[in-house]
Every structure is written in structure tokens, then in C-alpha cells.
Amino acid sequence: MPIRLHDSLTRASRELKPAQPDGIFRFYNCGPTVYAPAHIGNFRTFVVNDVLRRLLELEFGPGKVKHVRNLTDVDDRTIGQTQKEKRPLAEITKKWTDLFHADCAALNCLLPHAEPTATGYIREQVSMIEVLMDKGNAYRAADGSVYFKVSSFDGYGGLSRIKERELLVTDTTADSDHKNSVSDFALWKAYKPAEDGDVRWPGPRGAGEGRPGWHIECSAMSKALLGDTIDLHTGGVDLLFPHHENEIAQSQCCNGTTFAHHWYHSEHLLVNGTTMSKSKGNYYTLGDLVAKGYSPMAVRYALLSGHPRKQLNFTLDSLHAAESAIHTLRAFRATLPATSTAAHHVFEPVIAALHDDLNTPAAFGALFTIVNRKGGEADRVSFDRAIFALGLDVSGAQPAKTEAPAAITALAEKRWAAKQSKDFAAADALRKELAAAGWSMLDRKDGYSLEPLKK
Ligand SMILES: [Zn+2]
């Protein structure tokens, strides 16, 4: 059964397969901007893409997938942060790159095969810009910046289906004074000493010193590592316009060929029914959730619990349920025979659900149907294949039961009572108190259990 996935460009479900004769599937996923910690909304996209990567490897073979995910380490936001903190760009981006890597590892995401940084590919970006200028798709503005001329590319708006008229009203960039048309976008931004500090590189021929625009970064890194045409390009839905629309314009005008055969966008994450923001108190990083006593595996499970193309409402209650599901899976695995019983078909419904537009909730449903009938003829080999696709690490032994001290049990009783009477603020405060004392409380339908937090 082939992998079928929704394609944002044609708005249809299409089969994923490598287009080039070498049989390598070329996959580019827009990575994080490393100027702050990634939040769990960002990680929804990365975890969904990790399942996609795993599924592609199961389908085509591990050596037959090339997965590239970039790091945006120079753009308006990273430079803004260097100005705010008065520290060098490299120092800031390294700090947040290291945290991003640690969070990805905790969430059991496979490393991409290449992780280029925008600052590592300046020359490639400059040469793409020069080609675009030579071909008449880009022009130098009075201040030394270079802009892409949107009217030079007939296909513009094909992905987002945005019309020229709408472009005029959506464009609010401050540097529009120098453009010929407000819909044009920057490929190269001229150096501004007051804003850019020491962040600057020699520009394309005829342009001044400066730095690349964000969109050209991905076009150039994708071309350098995967070639002119790739099989799949993905990102969060917030990147569809203008970022991905602009990538298509740049790459297709420069390379004269199709940029990506397939586009996939995962939807937004809501927290407690609304968009995440620090002022609403519903903004979480992975670190915030771990400090509350939740395991990264439960976070991964919760992020995959909704269909990736629908908005997902994340709540702490959904995380309690996820924690309990992970425990069930770990306990179930321990009951399975370690040797293969050749019953590989048992978990095939899990893989089949993922092959059908990456339907992760259907995959969990299929998985628990098997778990609830105690596995039948299942064995660990077939279980591990399904679990590999979902990227859940449930292979370790069930954490040993440790008797909680009386003071901890008393806190837990208080919290359980608060939760039963729907005093969620008190329940949450008590959970924090338990976490501070080194204990995590897992809620089930009929009660709770206490686990010591891993150090
Ligand atoms: Zn990108």
C-alpha cells in the first residue's frame, strides 16, 4: 500500500514516491528560527514530520530517504535578539540550537540527514540572487537591497491561491519604500549599521553589503543539498504564505524547473482552546511541561493525538491521558514474546492508517484495538515496527515502583480532591508542588499513581 498524503499545491491526496532514477526520496522540512526556545506548537510540526520521515524509511528503505531540515540562524528576529541582548549573533543562535537539539532528542525525533544553517550557505544564496537578477526576475533597489519582481513569475500565488489584489493589502513590510511594487519581496537586505550591528556579508554583484532575506535561505539550502527538484517540501501551515510561495517563485525562476513535487502543511496547535501566547498564560515549551512532571514521550503522544491537518487543542488533561497511554504501551510490550512469530500483519492497520494521509489518531485507535484484545498472536518484532513509525520510545522497563512518602501521598490526595471538584487552578498548583518535591502524579479514570521524576 503506497503512502498517500495531502498535497497543498493540488489540494488532493497523492502518492509519495521518489521522482528521480536513483530512487532517493528527497525531503525538505523548514526548520526553526533559533532566537528563542521552540514552543510545543513548533514541535507539533517537527514531530509530525518525524513520523513522515520514519514512514518514508519503512517504505523506501533507510538509505533511500534524504531528509534535510535547516536552521534559520540569520533573519530579522535573530538579528533583533542580538540587538536586544547586545551579544554576537553566533552566540545567541548556538544557545537556542543546542536547546532545540536537546528537545528533539527528548521527543525521540530522528536527526535529519543534513541540517544546514543559513549562515553556512551565504555564497549559494548570493549566486542564486545573481542568477535571478541576470534573468530579470530580481532588481537592485536604491539602498543596495535586491528584490524579487513578483510580476515576472506567472505562477505566483499557485500554492496559496492568493490574488495580486490581495497581495497589495496583505503586504505590510516596512522596507516597501525601496520596492517597485509592494508585492515584491527582499532577496537581499542592504546593511543598516544601526540595526544590523556586525552582521553583514558581501552582496550579489552590483548590490551592497548586507544579509539574505529569509525566503532565499531555504531555496538555496534545498538546491545545494537536494538538487533543483525535490520530492516533498513541508512546514507548518503558517509558512505556506508568503514563505513557501516565495520559495517556489525563487527556485523555479532560478532553476527553470519544478521546485517540489509535493507540498505538505501541518495545522496549528491551540492550547486550552486558543492560540498560544505568553500573556494568556497558555504558552509552553517542552521544558515547561517537563518541569510540571510530564514525560517528553507523553508530550509526543499528545502532539500526535489529533489529525495533523486539523487544529489540535492541547490541554494538560490530554497530557495526563497521554501519560497513561504510554504506560499501557510499555506494559503491553513487556508481555509480548521477544522472538518473531511471523505475525507481521497484526499491526499493519497502524501502518495503514499512517499511509492514509498520516492519520495519527486512526493509527493510535488501531494500536489500542490490538492492545485491548491483549495482542492475540502479536510479537515484539511486529509491535516495534508500528511503534517505530510513531516514534514512541516504550522499550524501557516499566519504571520501578517506589513507595511515596506520607507527605507526598497527602499532597496527591489533596490534588485528586481538587481535580474531582474541578478546581483546576488548585490542582495545577499542587502538581507543581509535587514536581518540585520530585514526584509526578499520573491521573487515570479511577484514580492516580505516583512516580518519582527521573533526574
Ligand atoms: Zn523554509
Residues of the chain with pLDDT > 90: what percent?
75
Instruction: Evaluate if residue 433 carries a pLDDT over 60.
Output: yes
Residue 1 C-alpha cell reads as: 500500500
Residue 454, pLDDT score: 64
Q: What is the CA(243)–ligand 1 centre distance, in A?
A: 7
Q: What is the CA(67)–ligand 1 centre distance, in A?
A: 14
Instruction: Evaluate if residue 50 carries a pLDDT over 90.
Output: yes
Q: What class is the 294-390 domain? A: mainly alpha
CB proximity list for 394: less than 8 A, separation 6 or greater = 297, 326, 329, 330, 333, 387
Mean pLDDT of 87-107: 97
Q: What is the CA(135)–ligand 1 centre distance, in A?
A: 23
Q: Which of 83-87, 209-213, 299-303, 402-406 has the lowest mean pLDDT?
A: 402-406
Average pLDDT over the chain, rounded to an integer: 92
Q: What is the CA(351)–ligand 1 centre distance, in A?
A: 29
Q: What is the CA(431)–ligand 1 centre distance, in A?
A: 38
Q: What is the CA(218)–ligand 1 centre distance, in A?
A: 5
Q: What is the CA(238)–ligand 1 centre distance, in A?
A: 11
Q: What is the CA(239)–ligand 1 centre distance, in A?
A: 7
Q: What is the CA(4)–ligand 1 centre distance, in A?
A: 23
DSSP H or E segment with residue 312: strand 312-314
Q: What is the CA(233)–ligand 1 centre distance, in A?
A: 9
CB proximity list for 168: less than 8 A, separation 6 or greater = 182, 183
- Domain ranges in the chain are 4-266, 294-390, 406-452
Q: Which of 168, 172, 171, 207 is nearest to 187 (CA)?
A: 207
User: 4-266 has which fold?
Assistant: Rossmann fold (3.40.50)
Q: Which of 124-138, 243-257, 306-320, 403-417 has the lowest mean pLDDT?
A: 403-417
CB proximity list for 215: less than 8 A, separation 6 or greater = 185, 187, 242, 243, 246, 247, 250
Q: What is the CA(31)–ligand 1 centre distance, in A?
A: 7
pTM for this prediction: 0.87
